[in-house]
């Protein structure tokens, strides 16, 4: 990174000098009078011209070093040159090294450019020059995030990150990350395959304390989504089948996302001998420190979704041909029902009520696709075929 920083600035100075290509008139014997008479051509046609340049305040930055020769020094070095008129942006909690070290000219042209904020290159190029992995992530992503597409969002990286400094982790504009996400996901967005739901509206409908899934409750969208892209659908940070049904092979291979935080026995063990758990109280039973991946959730019995000792998660999900994915029953963001069970589910394009009811030792559902089925952890229930 440091190497890049040094080399690129040298590259630019060379490129810039070549671009300036020298004014048509001769060099004055001294500083000269109207600087713009000879130099303005170099930036006259650019879209973003720095006001002091436009106004001929060249001496704000250039100091003549001779009365007889046309030579100049800069008025100050690094950030101090800019600090004559701008703040140095190195006072908040999370700094950006190229900014706090005063390399303002790494990104900005002092005179003029054709890019937003007078950057030397468009934002995406400015940032990915030093953070090339973000370019690679975006290019190789299974679903490319509209937020990173300059055509959909000209501010790309700086719509979430502050270029200079902020008070939040990763220099995000706001915290928790959800607040950044809903600046755009407060309306339906168009993905290549479908129109995406308005996530902010959905969250607003669901009380944070009782209805939102742990990491969502804490506003930690990046616990599951990698906003720069991944090889999984919906930029998920672990495997999660995109199709409604999927042949089951192994918990972590198929549902790596969920099993970053949950216990794989949930779908691996057909019969559960351990004492079943009663309804877990998230506040006390589910100790969770947030996002670093360890298995620490469901204790002593793994899942309450069982009939007697038969694990019904196993039965629904763990099938060689058409295993049901979690989305048939759960809404991963929030739902008004216990255990984040969805209100409606779907079969092809057909959407219908699940009619889930919870009891202290089990529950029941009555979806459009079959008769009412009941399960009970203490007393196995017999259901009609």
Residue 25 interacts with ligand HEC (CB under 6 A)?
yes
Position among 122, 256, 308, 327 found at the interface with ligand HEC (CB under 6 A): 327
How far apart are alpha carbons 286 and 284 in whole angstroms?
6
Between 74 and 382, CB nearer to ligand HEC = 74
Residues 93-122 that bind ligand HEC (CB under 6 A): 96-99, 102-108, 110-111, 117-119
Residue 206 interacts with ligand HEC (CB under 6 A)?
no
Between 257 and 269, CB nearer to ligand HEC = 257
Tell me if 248 sits within 8 A of 317, measured CB to CB.
yes
Residue 62 interacts with ligand HEC (CB under 6 A)?
yes
How far apart are alpha carbons 36 and 342 in whole angstroms?
67
Contacts 24+ apart (CB under 8 A), 1-9: 1/130, 4/129, 4/130, 5/98, 5/103, 5/106, 5/130, 8/106, 8/129, 9/103, 9/105, 9/106
Between 75 and 382, CB nearer to ligand HEC = 75
Residue 272 interacts with ligand HEC (CB under 6 A)?
no
Residue 342 interacts with ligand HEC (CB under 6 A)?
no
Query: Shortest Cβ distance from residue 247 to ligand HEC (Å)?
Result: 13
Q: Which residues are 63's β-sheet partners?
A: 73
Contact stretch for ligand HEC (CB under 6 A) within 76-84, 268-276, 366-374: 76-84
- Which of left, alpha, beta for 305 (phi over 0: left; psi -120 to 50: alpha)? beta
DSSP 374: E
Residue 334 interacts with ligand HEC (CB under 6 A)?
no
Query: Shortest Cβ distance from residue 149 to ligand HEC (Å)?
Result: 7
Residues 150-169 that bind ligand HEC (CB under 6 A): 152-153, 155-161, 163-164
Cβ-Cβ contacts under 8 Å for 220 (sequence gap 6 or more): 176, 177, 178, 290, 291
Residue 234 interacts with ligand HEC (CB under 6 A)?
yes
Residues 176-195 that bind ligand HEC (CB under 6 A): 177-178, 180-181, 183-185, 189-191
Position among 114, 121, 129, 336 found at the interface with ligand HEC (CB under 6 A): 129
Phi and psi, residue 156, nearest 5° = 25, -110
Q: Put the strands of the sheet holding 373-376 in their side by side order.
A: 357-358, 362-365, 373-376
Query: Shortest Cβ distance from residue 239 to ligand HEC (Å)?
Result: 10
Contacts 24+ apart (CB under 8 A), 346-355: 346/244, 354/329
Contact stretch for ligand HEC (CB under 6 A) within 80-88, 268-276, 366-374: 80-88
Query: Shortest Cβ distance from residue 191 to ligand HEC (Å)?
Result: 3
Between 160 and 269, CB nearer to ligand HEC = 160
Alpha helices in 172-331 (DSSP H): 177-181, 199-205, 208-211, 214-217, 251-255, 265-268, 282-285, 312-317
Residue 271 interacts with ligand HEC (CB under 6 A)?
no
Residue 126 interacts with ligand HEC (CB under 6 A)?
yes
How far apart are alpha carbons 385 and 380 in whole angstroms?
15
Contact stretch for ligand HEC (CB under 6 A) within 229-237, 268-276, 366-374: 229-237
| Number of shown-chain residues binding ligand HEC (CB under 6 A) | 153
- With H, G, I as helix, E, B as strand and everything else as coil, classify residue 71: coil
DSSP 226: -
């Amino acid at each position: 990174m440091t190497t890049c920083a040094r080399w690129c600035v040298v590259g630019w100075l060379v490129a810039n000098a070549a671009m300036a290509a020298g004014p048509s008139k001769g060099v004055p014997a001294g500083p000269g009078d109207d600087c713009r008479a000879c130099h303005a051509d170099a930036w006259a046609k650019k879209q973003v011209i720095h006001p002091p340049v436009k106004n001929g305040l060249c001496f704000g930055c250039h100091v003549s070093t001779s009365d007889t020769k046309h030579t100049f020094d800069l008025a100050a070095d690094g950030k101090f040159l800019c600090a004559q008129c701008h703040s140095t942006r190195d006072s908040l909690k999370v700094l950006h090294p190229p900014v706090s070290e005063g390399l303002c000219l790494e990104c900005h042209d002092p005179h003029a450019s054709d890019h937003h904020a007078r950057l030397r290159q468009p934002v995406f190029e400015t940032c990915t020059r030093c953070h090339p992995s973000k370019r690679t992530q975006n290019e190789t992503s299974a679903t490319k995030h509209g937020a990173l597409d300059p055509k959909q969002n000209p501010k790309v990286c700086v719509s979430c990150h502050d270029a200079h400094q902020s008070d939040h982790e990763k220099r995000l504009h706001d915290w928790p990350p959800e607040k950044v996400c809903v600046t755009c996901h407060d309306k339906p967005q168009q993905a290549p395959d479908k129109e995406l739901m308005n996530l902010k509206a959905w969250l607003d409908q669901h009380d944070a304390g009782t209805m939102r899934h742990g990491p969502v409750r804490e506003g930690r969208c990046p616990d599951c989504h990698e906003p720069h892209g991944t090889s999984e659908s919906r930029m998920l940070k672990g495997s999660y089948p995109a199709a409604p049904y999927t042949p089951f092979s192994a918990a972590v291979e198929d549902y790596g996302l969920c099993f970053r935080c949950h216990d794989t026995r949930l779908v691996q063990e057909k019969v559960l001998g351990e004492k079943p758990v009663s309804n877990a109280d998230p506040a006390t039973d589910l100790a969770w420190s947030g996002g670093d991946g360890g298995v620490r959730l469901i204790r002593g019995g793994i899942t309450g979704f069982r009939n007697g000792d038969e694990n019904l998660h196993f039965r629904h999900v763990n099938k060689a041909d058409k295993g049901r994915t979690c989305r048939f029953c759960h809404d991963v963001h929030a739902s008004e029902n216990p255990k984040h069970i969805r209100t409606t589910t779907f079969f092809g394009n057909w959407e219908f009520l699940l009619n889930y009811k919870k009891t202290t030792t089990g529950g029941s559902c009555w979806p459009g696709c079959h008769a009412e089925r009941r399960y009970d952890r203490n007393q196995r229930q017999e259901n009609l075929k």
